[in-house]
Amino acid sequence: MMRIALIAASGFLLVGCQSTPMTSEPASGTLAYGSKVLVDDGTCPEGQIKQITGGNGGKIGRKRECIAKTM
């Protein structure tokens, strides 16, 4: 349980500290479970950016969603 909390907390820190969004998704297997990254690849409507949450490489895949840009 503690391990999941630490992974989730590190994901929130990654998004909070990330100053420049990525231009493409990270390669498969490189995004830790629960980690979140922002990707500005033009697939979301104007004023939004893609947020990707890492899966576990098994039954739980990556979650992709468009969220409002805050910059």
3-state secondary structure 37-50: EEECCCCCCCCEEE
* Count of all residues that appear for the chain in the document: 71
Q: pLDDT tens across 12-69, in order?
A: 444 454 568 999 999 988 999 999 999 999 999 999 999 999 999 889 999 999 999 9
Q: What is the pLDDT of residue 70?
A: 81
Closest by alpha carbon to 11, among 38, 39, 35? 35
Question: Is residue 8 predicted with pLDDT exceeding 70?
Answer: no
pTM over 0.75: no
